[in-house]
Amino acid sequence: MIEVQHVTKRYGPVAAVDDVSFRVEAGQILGFLGPNGAGKTTTMRVLTGYLPPTEGTATVAGFDVLEEPIEAKRRTGYLPESPPLYPDMTVREYLTFVARINGLAASVRRTRIDQAMERTSIGDVADRHCGKLSKGYRQRVGLAQAILHNPDVLILDEPTAGLDPKQIIETRELIKELAGDHTIILSTHILPEVAQTCERVVIINKGRVVAEDSPDNLTGRLHGAVTIQMQVDTAGADPTAALLAIPGVASVSVGEPGGDGRTIEVQSEQDGDIRRELANAVVANGWGLLELRRARRSLEEIFLQLTTAEEPAGEEEDAGDEDLDDPAAARENADE
């Protein structure tokens, strides 16, 4: 349904998006994950035909976004990072305008608008001015605008940003619900969101795709070494040597003794489970085992590992990247 092939977008000599390729099958939800300034927004803008790619091609519902932009746009609903609302229009007027420019016939306009307002539960603000809405409502009006013409493809740039927890859950439910009839790409830097809503994840960093898989596989794939956290009352003794002696232990880090014993983190060498051996060693030394658990690597850690692994810490590029993701900001500077 959506196909991105070797898309590169350069601003001058700097590539905001560098040779990005991925595809989304019909009905799927793809999560687009990356730190701020990674190139998520730029990629989405290429897909919506707002920005032409410097190199590569992007196809939406079988239409190249450069060659047949009108046809591609007709099949795309887009919610930009900040919802594009006209502050002086009421919600209903705004949606009527969006329906008109999307070529919805006058006869179906009213029903479609009512449907979209119901799905995003904004019926109670239908006659309020867009400029007077709270962030949560603005976001949902933006979403209503995107689904209004029943597009094949939905591109949502941080759809839950600025919502309160209840609205976030509602929006996620709505997105899942929409996935049946629509193919969805959503970007976010909130990791649990991806795990909860998406079937596939593309992690992007500094303009490049660093991983692409299902959330479960991504979690599994990077399991490798297992971290085990223990809380042990060693009665003053240093447990490092005793623990390192256990076969399969790669490293041990021991915290300061506190009221609740010491916190010890043990890294295993392979994917082997060494919890039994650790427990035995503690007991054999006569210490008190207060807690022992396997630290499950969250998507968060994987994300951090993937997005920081390539470059050593202390990068100054970040600041520059931030600007790249928001060319509007760069233009503003140029204007002044």
Partner 1 sequence: MSNVLAIAHRELRSYFVSPIAYVVVGLFALLYGYFYFASLAFMVQFSSQAGMFGGGPQTVNINEFMIRPLLSNTAIILLFILPFLTARSYAEEKRSGTIELLLTSPLSDMEIILGKFLGALALFLLMLSVTAVHMGILFWYGEPELGSILTGYLGLALMGASFIALGLLVSSATRNQVVAGVGTFSVLLLFWVLSWMSDSAGPTAGPILSYLSILEHFDDFSKGVIDTAHVTYYLSFIAFGLFLTAKSVDSERWRG
Task: Give me the residues that bind partner 1 (CB under 8 A), please.
Answer: 9, 11, 16, 48-52, 70-71, 73-74, 76, 78, 80, 82, 84-89, 97-98, 100-103, 145, 327-328, 330-332, 335
Alpha helices in 180-239 (DSSP H): 191-197, 215-221
- Taking alpha carbons only, the member of 91, 106, 104 closest to residue 150 is 104
Nearer residue to partner 1 within complex by CB, 71 or 213: 71
Report in angstroms how near the CB of residue 62 gets to partner 1 at its nearest: 15
Query: What whole-number distance in Å separates Cα of residue 58 and Cα of residue 28?
Result: 17
Start-to-end Cα distance in the chain = 41
Query: Helix (H, G, I), strand (E, B), or coil: what is residue 233?
Result: strand
Report in angstroms how near the CB of residue 171 gets to partner 1 at its nearest: 20
Nearer residue to partner 1 within complex by CB, 95 or 201: 95
Nearer residue to partner 1 within complex by CB, 141 or 266: 141
Report in angstroms how near the CB of residue 161 gets to partner 1 at its nearest: 14
Report in angstroms how near the CB of residue 41 gets to partner 1 at its nearest: 10
Report in angstroms how near the CB of residue 93 gets to partner 1 at its nearest: 8
- Taking alpha carbons only, the member of 118, 156, 120, 152 closest to residue 138 is 120
Nearer residue to partner 1 within complex by CB, 109 or 275: 109
Query: Residue by residue, what is the 3-state secondary structure of 281-292?
Result: HHHHCCCEEEEE
- DSSP assignment of 9-35 equals EEETTEEEEEEEEEEE-TT-EEEEE--
Nearer residue to partner 1 within complex by CB, 153 or 209: 153
